[in-house]
Structure 1
Amino acid sequence: MNKKGCSQILDIVAGDQVPQYLDLAPNIMERIQKRKGIRMQHRTRFISAAVLVAIVLVVLFYTVPGIAAAIGRWFGYVPGVGLVREGQIRVLAGPVSVTRDGVTITVDQVVLDPEKTALVYSADGIPSAAWITQPEDKHCPYGAALLLPDGERLLASPNGIQAWGAGYQHRFNFPSLPADINEAKLVINCLFNTRPGTAPENWEIPLRFILASPDVTAFPVIEISTPTAPAATATPAQSVPESAAPAAATGTSPAPVPITLTLDRAVQMDDGYLIYATVNWQDTLYASVDVMNTTETLHLRDVNGQDMLYELRYDEHTGVFGDQRETVFAIKTAPVQTPGPLTLALDWVSVDLLVDESFVFDPGPDPKTGQTWTLNKVVKIGQYSLLVRSAVAELGGYSFEMSSGEKTPENLIVNASLGDLEHTVDSGGGGGGGGNPGDTFFSSFNYADGLPEGPITVTVGSIGVRHYQSLEAKWTPPAASPNLLPTQAAACLTTASW
C-alpha cells in the first residue's frame, strides 16, 4: 500500500468535493458588492473581514495543492523583497532618507524573517562626473554593512541592481537579526560605481524595526511537486563531453549526462503567476550550468500547446538558496485564462567545462593602462576553438575580448574564463555574449602587484558551450485567472517584443 502524506490526503479528500479550478474571488466580491449599501460599525467590519479571510484561508488550505505544506515554510511573497520565511516578521518602521551634497540615499524597504534581513536602498542625485566611464578610472571600494548596537558588522553582497542616469537601487540579503535587536545602522563607505572623492562617502543611516502589521502585502506561496519529463538522448553530434581534452584524444564524445528541470513553487498574483524553476545538474561533471538567450531557448506553453507571454525575473529568487549544483530562476507569466497544465521547456543550456589550455600574450616590456592590442589568436580546445580577438590593459590587469572560432551550434563556445598562473592574481571576472554565433564575450583578471612585463602565459581555465537536451516540466495552476490577456501592453512582457 502506498503511503501518502497529510497534505496529499487532504488534497484527495477536497478534490472529491470541490472543483479543480475553483476560484473564490468572483463569488466573494459579488456578495460583498450586493451588500455594499449596508453600513457596519468599525468593530463589526473588523470581525467580518477577519472571518472572511479565515474562511478563504481554510478553503485554500483544503483545495489548493501545496498550500497546506507551504504554510509551514513560507510567510509569503513580499513585492520588492521576495520570499519571506514563516515566523516573526519585522519591517522598517518607515522610509528613511538622508541627503548630503545633493545626493539622497533612501532605505526603501527592510523585511526581517528568521532566515535573513532583506534590505532595499536607493541612491539618487549622483553627479554625472562621479560615474566610472573608462576602464582606467579608479574605483572606490564600494560596500554596505549593517552596524549593530554592540558594534558587530553584518556583511552581504548585492543581490540585484537597477540603475538610471543619476542613481541606482540595490538589494541585499543580510544575516537574520536576533529578535531583541530592533535597531541598526546601514553603513555605506562609498557609492556604487563611482570614483573616490567625487560623491559623498561614509554614510551611516539609522534604522528601526517593528513587527509587521497584519495588512502587510504578501501573496501566498504554492509549493509544487512536479515530475520532470524524461531526459532526451542527444545525438553524438550534439552531445557535450565532460572534458574537451579526452574528447580530442579519442575522437568521440561520451554519452550525455542528464540535466533536469523542475518547477518548485509559484506565487499567485493579481495578473498571473510568479513561477520558480531550477535546473538540476548534481550528477554531472560540469563546473556550472546557465540558462542563456531565454527569448529563443525558454518556452512557456498552455494546455493547448500555445506559447504564453512571460518575463524572466533575474532577482526574484530572493530568499531561495539552492544547492551548489543547481541554477535557480523565476518567470512572471501573463494571466492564465485556460484551465490545465502549463509547460516550461528549455531547448538547450550553457554548460561550463574545465579545461587546461593556454596561449602566449606579449604586451611588451612596459604596458600602459588603456593600451590595446589586436590579437585574432585561435586557441584549439578539443573539438572547440576559441578566437581571442583583442586585449586591453586596465588598472592593474588585462581584459580579453573573445568569440567562438566555430559557428556550428554544437561546437559553439559562449564564454571563457582566463587567468595567469605564473603571477599573483587577486581578482577577475567576465561577461557578455548571448549564446549565438558571432557574439563576443570577455574575461579579465587583475594582478596583486601591477602589470607584469611581457610576455605572459594566459591560461584558459574553463569554457562554456551549448548542451542540447530537451528539458520540460509541467504544473497545473489551481485556478484560471479572470483577468483578460493584455493587448498592447503585452509587448513589454518579453525581451524579444520589447
Structure 2
Amino acid sequence: MNEWTSTPEFEENVRQSFGVPEIRTEFVNQLYGQLMQQADEKSRRYQSRSRFRLRPAWTITLAILALVIFSTLVIGPQRVYAEVMKLLSYIPGVGIVEEGTTIRVLAEPVTQTRDDITLTVHEAYLTDEKTIIVYSIQNVPQSALSHDESVVGCSDAGSLILPDGTRLEIVSGQGSGYRAEHIYPAIPESVDKATFVLSCIQGTLQGKAPENWELNLHFIPAPAELTAAPVINLPTPTVSMSQSTDADQSQSLPSDPFGIQMSLDQVIPLDDGYYLIGHTSCLDSRITAAYPGSWAMKAYDTTGQEIPLEPARFQDIGLENPQPNQWIYKLYGIVFSSPLTVRTTMMAVEFTEPVQLELDPRTYGFDDLNPQPSIIQIMDPLRIDVLGTQAQVVHIKYMQQGALKGFELGIEAEPGLQSLPFSLQSAVTVTDGQRASSGGSNRDESSGLIRTYVLSDGQMSFPLSLSATYADLSGIWETNWTPPTVTSNLIPTAVSQACLSLDEWKMATQNPTDLPLDLEGKVLLSRSALSPNPTLFIANLDGSGENGLVYGYGSLSPDGSKLVYSDENSNILIMDVDSGRKTAITNSSRDSNPIWSPDGKQIAFMRSTENQQIFIMNADGTDVMPLTLAAESAQLAGWSPDSSQILYGAKDERGATKERLINIATGDITDLFSVDFDAPSPAFSPDGQWIAYLD
C-alpha cells in the first residue's frame, strides 16, 4: 500500500509524548476554518496583482494541510502556519518570486566604448515573468546635448532583440539614460542570448554622439550564491491597543481612532535587517484609504529603545502594483529584545466624499479692491465637519507669494486633526487657459491652529469654493511582532543614527553656546514676506547687524561681496551687497533658485520649461545651458565642494524624492538615496563626504 492511516491509539501516544494537551473539536474546526479563509484571501490577493500570482496549487496544498491538522499540532499551530505560508522568496535585484522559480543572470558585464562614450550592461535577471536589465552610459559630452530647452534630444530607452528577431520593448523602469534599471517581458527559458540595442543616447542630438549601439548578452543559470530570502507571511495579527512608549505622547493621543487598524502581514529577512510589509484597514465608510505618515512610523523593542526604521519602496522588492492601503518599511538590525512594537502617530487618510467649504472673505471685512496682508478674525467661526471632528475657521489672512495670491485659513480643531489641505474648485478666472496654484496645511505649534494656504495666479471672484480630499490624523496605531530567534551569542545593541531630531534641535536652540572668538563672517537669512518687502537679509553670525536686502531667493558669492537672486518676476539678478547696485543676467521670467558655485565661476538655477529643469551659466550670465533634460522635474539643492557636481532631487514613480548627483562636465548621474519628504533640503559637508537632509 502507498498510503498509511494512523490509528487513534497512535495519535494519542504521539500527543502524550510531545506533551500536547487535549485537542478540542471546537478548536480544530475553528483553526480549519481560519486556514481555509486565509488561503482563499491570500489566493485572491495575489491573483489580483499583475505580478507574482499565487498559483491555485498552493490553495489546494493549504486545504490538504488543514485536513491533517491533528498531526501538525504537535509542533504548534503558530509554527505550522508560518511554515505553510512560506510560498514566496525575495532575491535582491530581482524582487519577490515564487519558490522554485528558475532565475538566470548575465554571464558577465558587457561594455562598448565609441568616441570616448561608454555603454555598459552591468546586470541582467531573468524569471518566467520578466527580464531586468541594468545599464549605464558614461562620458557623454555637454556638446552632444541640446542647449535649447525647446529642442528635445533622444528619448530611446533601449530594446532587446532575440535570436529569432522578436523585439522586446521596455515595460517599466527607473533611472536616467546614464544609469537605468529597465524591465522587459520575459525571455523564454530556451533562449540564452539576446542583443541589447540602443538607437541613440538619451538626451543627445542627432549626429552629435554615436548611434545604433548593439551589445550581445549571454544568460546563464543563477549561481548558488544568489541568495533567496523567504517572504514570511505572518498569522492574522492582533492589533495592540497599548499606549505609546513616550508617556507624554500616549496621554495626549487616542489609540486606534476612526476605526483604523494597522497590521503587519509579511517580513523579508535581509543581511542587515528586514523589510516589513503591512496594510491598514478602516471600518469608517467615510474613509476610502489610510496610509501611515511616512517618517512618523517608529519601531521599539521591549525596553523602549527605538530601532532604526525607514520608508522603503515597493519597487525595491520588485512589486510594481501594491495593493490599496499597503505599506512597506525597512527595519535595521538582526538581534532585538523582542517583541517589537511598530507604531505610527500620524495617518494620512483619503475621504470618500470631499470636505466642502464656501468662503466669502468680504463678509468679514476683506477689501478685495485694496487687499492687505492682515489677519481678519471671524467672530462667528465657520464650522467644518471632518469625520465628526470639531473644526472651525477662526481667521483668514490675505497673502501673496510672487505671482500667486490667496488666503491663509486659521483652523481651530481637535488634536486628532493635524492638517486639512484645501484646493480651489471655482471662482478663479484665467486668461491663458492655464492656472498655477499652490497650498499646504500644517499644525502650528505656537498657536495650536491648523494653518491652511490656498493660492492661485488667477483672478479670484467671491465666494470661494474650497474642497479637501484628504487630511492628516493624529493618534496611535500599532502592531507587535516577534522576530525569529537568532541562534548566536549576539547581544541586542542600539544602532547609532546620524540624525538630529526635532526635540534635540529645540533643546540646542534653548541652550545656545557662544561662537568661537576667531569665527568671523556673515550669514544670509531668509524669511517669508510680501513683495516688495525683503525676504533676504544679511547679518553677523550671532544674528546682530541684520540688514534687509531684496525680495526673492538667492545665495552669496564665495567672497560674500555679491548676491545672486531670483525676483518676483522670476528673473535672475546680481546685487553688489555694499552698494546695492543690481544687474539682471536673465530675462526669461521662468528662472528661480540660483546658487553660486563654491569656486565662484558658475551659477546653477532652475528654469520652468515643459517641467522644471536645472541650468548652469557663467557668473556673468553668459553660456546658459541645460544640465538636466529628463522627463521628471528636478529640484536644485546645491554644489559639491569642488564645484564639479550638482546635487538635486527628482520625484520617482511612487512620489518619493530621489537625491542625485550630476557631473557638470560629463553629465553622468549618480543616484544617492530616496526620501519620502517633499523638501529634504540636502546639503554637502565641507569635505564632501557627507550629506545632511531633512525627513
Q: Give the shorter-chain TM-score range.
A: 0.5 to 0.7
Question: Does residue 477 of structure 1 match 2:483?
Answer: yes
Q: Distance in 2 between matches of 1:473 and 1:304?
A: 16
Q: How many angstroms apart in 1 are the aligned matches of 2:434 and 2:331?
A: 35
Task: Give 5+ residue unaligned stretches, structure 2.
Answer: 1-24, 36-64, 243-251, 360-372, 377-381, 385-390, 505-691
Q: Would you say the 8 A contact 2:410–2:452 is kept in 1? A: no
Is 1:214 the counterpart of 2:245? The answer is: no
SS of the counterpart of 1:13?
A: helix
Alpha-carbon distance in 2 for matches of 1:494, 1:472: 24
Matched, 1:156 2:155: no
Match of 2:85 in 1: 69
Amino acid in structure 2 at the alignment position of 1:66: A
Secondary structure of the residue aligned to 1:214 is coil
Matches within 5 A, 1:35-434: 66-70=82-86, 73-74=87-88, 76-86=89-99, 87-125=101-139, 142=155, 144=157, 146-149=159-162, 150-158=165-173, 169-186=179-196, 205-229=215-239, 257-280=258-281, 284-286=285-287, 288-294=289-295, 297-315=296-314, 317-320=316-319, 324-338=323-337, 340-353=338-351, 355=354, 382=384, 406=411, 410-413=416-419
- Which residue is equivalent to 2:13? none
Distance in 1, Cα, partners of 2:212 & 2:115: 13
Which consecutive unaligned segments of at least 5 residues does structure 1 have?
Answer: 21-62, 240-254, 360-374, 394-398, 446-452
Q: Which residue of 2 aligns with 1:13?
A: 74
Looking at structure 1, the residues matched to 358 and 214 of structure 2 have their Cα atoms a distance apart, in angstroms, of 47
How far apart are residue 278 of structure 1 and its match? Answer: 2.5
One-letter code aligned to 2:92:
P
Query: What is the alpha-carbon distance in structure 2 between the residues aligned to residue 96 and residue 302 of structure 1?
Result: 46
Deviation for aligned residue 1:466: 0.6
SS across alignment from 2:496: helix
Q: Note if contact 1:142-1:191 (Cα within 8 Å) is conserved in structure 2.
A: yes
C-alpha contact 2:417 2:474 (8 A) present in aligned 1:
no
Cα deviation code 1:444-489 (max 9, x no counterpart):
99xxxxxxx97699997754411234222222222137445567x7
Partners of 1:177 and 1:106 in 2: CA distance: 20
The 2-side partners of 1:186 and 1:444 are apart by 48
Alpha-carbon separation, structure 1, partners of 2:487 and 2:434: 48
Considering only aligned residues, what root-mean-square deviation do their CA atoms show, in Å? 5.8
- Alignment match, 2:473: 467
Higher relative contact order (CA 8 A, sep 6+): 1
Q: Distance in 1 between matches of 2:184 and 2:237?
A: 34
TM norm structure 1: 0.57
Q: Is the 8 A contact 1:258 1:284 kept in 2?
A: no
Q: Distance in 2 between matches of 1:376 and 1:147?
A: 62
**Residues of 2 paired with 1:268 and 1:390: CA distance?**
50
Distance 2:451 2:210 in 1: 36
State the alpha-carbon separation in 2 of the partners of residues 130 and 403 from structure 1. Answer: 47
CA contact (8 A) 2:300 2:306 kept: yes
411-420 or 178-187, larger mean C-alpha shift: 411-420
Q: Distance in 2 between matches of 1:138 and 1:381?
A: 52
Question: Structure 1 residues 183 and 81 mapped into 2: Cα distance closer, same or farther (>3 Å)?
Answer: same
Identity %, equivalent residues: 24
Secondary structure of residue in 1 paired with 2:497: helix
Q: Distance in 2 between matches of 1:428 and 1:186?
A: 43
The number of residues matched between the two structures is: 394
| Cα displacement (A) at 1:122 | 3.8
Over 3 Å counting, the alpha-carbon distance change for 1:272 and 1:462 in structure 2 is same
Contact 1:344–1:474 (Cα < 8 Å) also in 2: yes
| CA distance in structure 1 between the partners assigned to 2:374 and 2:142 by the alignment | 35
- Structure 2 distance, partners of 1:184, 1:376, is 67
User: Structure 2 CA distance, aligned partners of 1:10 and 1:152?
Assistant: 53
**Per-residue deviation at 1:298?**
0.9
Please state whether the residue corresponding to 1:265 is helix, strand or coil.
Answer: strand
Distance in 1 of aligned mates of 2:82 and 2:297: 25
- Are the structure 2 counterparts of residues 143 and 9 from structure 1 closer, same or farther at C-alpha, using a change threshold of 3 Å? farther
CA 1:426/1:257 → structure 2, altered by over 3 Å: closer, same or farther?
farther
**CA deviations over 1:46-93 (Å, ceiling 9, x no partner):** xxxxxxxxxxxxxxxxx68624431xx32x322233323332222223
- Report the Cα offset of residue 381 of structure 1: 11
1:490 to 493, 496, 514: 496
Contact 2:109 2:120 in 1 (8 A): yes
User: Is the alpha carbon distance of 1:153 and 1:477 closer, same or farther for their aligned partners in structure 2, counting shifts above 3 Å?
Assistant: same
The structure-2 alpha-carbon separation of the partners of 1:101 and 1:471, relative to structure 1 and needing over 3 Å to count, comes to: farther
In structure 2, the CA distance between the partners of 1:260 and 1:335, relative to structure 1 (3 Å rule), is: same
Q: Secondary structure at the match of 1:66?
A: helix
CA distance in 2 between counterparts of 1:131 and 1:381 reads 56
The verdict on how the C-alpha distance between 1:308 and 1:213 changes in structure 2, with shifts beyond 3 A counting, is same
Which moves more between the two structures, 112-121 or 218-227? 112-121
- Mapped partners of 1:133, 1:78: distance in 2: 42
1:198-241 Cα shifts (integer Å, max 9, x gaps): 87777655443332233322223322124141689xxxx999xx
| In structure 2, distance between residues paired with 1:199 and 1:389 | 50
Normalised TM-score (structure 2): 0.43
The structure having more radius of gyration, on CA atoms, is 2
Q: Is the 8 A contact 1:257 1:283 kept in 2?
A: yes
Give the deviation of 1:103 after TM superposition.
Answer: 4.5
Instruction: Find the aligned partners of 1:201 and 1:442 in 2 and give their Cα distance.
Output: 49
How far, CA to CA, are the matches of 1:316 and 1:299 in structure 2? 22
User: What amino acid is the match of 1:91?
Assistant: V
Could you tell me which amino acid in structure 1 is paired with residue 74 of structure 2? V
Contact between 2:442 and 2:452, CA under 8 Å: does it hold in 1? no
Question: CA 1:271/1:470 → structure 2, altered by over 3 Å: closer, same or farther?
Answer: same
In structure 2, the CA distance between the partners of 1:214 and 1:485, relative to structure 1 (3 Å rule), is same
In structure 2, what is the Cα distance between the partners aligned to 1:181 and 1:426? 53
CA offset at residue 329 of structure 1? 1.3
The aligned amino acid for 2:473 is H
Supply the AA of the counterpart residue of 2:274: Y
* Aligned mates of 2:350, 2:121 — CA distance in 1: 38
Structure 1 contact 158–171 (Cα < 8 Å) conserved: yes
What does 1:23-38 correspond to in 2, within 5 Å? none
Answer whether contact 1:401 1:441 (CA < 8 A) is retained: no
Cα 1:336–1:316, aligned 2, differ >3 Å: closer, same or farther?
Answer: farther
User: In structure 2, the residue corresponding to 1:490 is in which secondary structure?
Assistant: coil
